[in-house]
Every structure is written in C-alpha cells, then in structure tokens.
Amino acid sequence: MTMHQPTVWIAPSILSADFAALGRDIAAVERGGADLIHIDVMDGHFVPNITIGPPVVRAIKRIATRPLDVHLMIEDPDRYIRDFADAGASMISVHVEVLPHLHRTIAFIKSLGVKAGAVINPSTSITTLEDVAKDLDFVLVMSVNPGFGGQAFIPHSLEKVRRLKGLLAATGSSAQIEIDGGVDPSTINDVVSAGATILVAGNAIFASGDAEAATRALRAAANAPPPPGIRA
C-alpha cells in the first residue's frame, strides 16, 4: 500500500458503527468508496473508554477489502504492536504522549511491514515530531480529545495542520497528514485545504442512517475545490 495518494483518502471509523452488525457496516462504507477502515483501540487508561483488541481486528481483516488503519490509544503500545500487525493492520499509529522512545517504536512498526504513524493530541505541540518526521509514514492529528466519538471539531486544529504541513516540508518528510475528530460535511473542506489527506470520520458516516451514501458524500465534498476564501 502506497501512502502517496493522488487525492484525499476517506477512513470511516468503526467506533461509531453498530458492533452487532460490523460486517454490514464495513461493507456499506466500502461500497461508498472508503479507502481505509479506521479502528480505534482504547484501553480505559490512556483514554476514558475501552473498545477492542487484536481478535476483533483479525475478524475485520477477514471481511474487509480495504486496508486497516489501527490507532492505538493505549498506555503501552509497544507490548501490543506485533499482535495488531499479525491481526492484519496495514497502518499502526501510536501516541507521542505515552512513548519516551518514539523513534524506536516507529522503527519497530516499520520492521513488521506496517506503515507507521505518530499521533498528537490537541494539547501536544507538533515540535515533538521534528526529530522523527522523516521516519514517519503519516501523522495523525487529533481534532478532538480522544476517547469518544461524536465530539465537536476543535477549530485550532486547522492551524495545527497547516503548521505541521510546514514542518514536514522543512524536514524533508513525505509523511501524510491524517485528521481524526469532528470531520463532517461542515469541516471537510477546511481540513483538506489546511493539508490533511487522510480523513477519519465516524459519527458523520455511521450516525447518518445510510453509511454508504454518507461515505460517498464525504468523498465528493473532499475532492471538490475549496470554496473562495479558504486558505490553502
């Protein structure tokens, strides 16, 4: 899987899906044009919620036709990275806030043949990535505080994405910028114009009543020219 996509990628987050009908919901977003399936792994410690582990990722891998984008919101990701890679993750992202040896962790993910990403929370500075930027395949910017779906987009995230785009360019990094939290039809043009190319959307897709149509609509909006006045 190449990370150099010609347009934006849509990554529906199953955090907002119906877990009793996960296969149905994943099939719906794939029909709608999803590029990735985003899977939020939470441990109840780093974030105030508990979700799923490698067995569910392995089950999703059996039925999904898109790459699995696994976001580890856990206190000790090093302990579980191999398990998620073995379960079928194509991309694994880890939080800088819990890793004193981020460079080593990123190298380990890549050694398993998986794309490696670093995640920064809303209060975390992009400068924490400066010395590992060239080693990253992607950076995930949290535009809400992680833990629960359906939260409102934090407006400051747009400027953060712009500054991150500049930092990546300055360090010679080819990492893509992913954004997660509050991405919906009202924010999608702004985040694309700011520089994000992988868009995670949960509530906007799965709470819509028609996940297939909502995915298709988000893709169309993301690929549309930005409205006048939107800063590139």
Exposure of 227 in the CB half-sphere (CA atoms within 13 A): 8
180 is catalytic: yes
State the DSSP code for 199: E
40 is catalytic: yes
DSSP string, 22-83: HHHHHHHHHHTT-S-EEEEEEBSSSSS-B---HHHHHHHHHH-SS-EEEEEESS-GGGTHHH
CA angle at residue 150 from 125 to 152, to 5 degrees? 50
- Give me the catalytic one of 25, 69, 137, 180: 180
Q: Categorise residue 33: left if φ over 0, alpha if ψ from -120 to 50, beta otherwise.
A: left
- Give me the catalytic one of 25, 35, 40, 137: 40
User: Which residues participate in catalysis according to the annotation?
Assistant: 40, 180
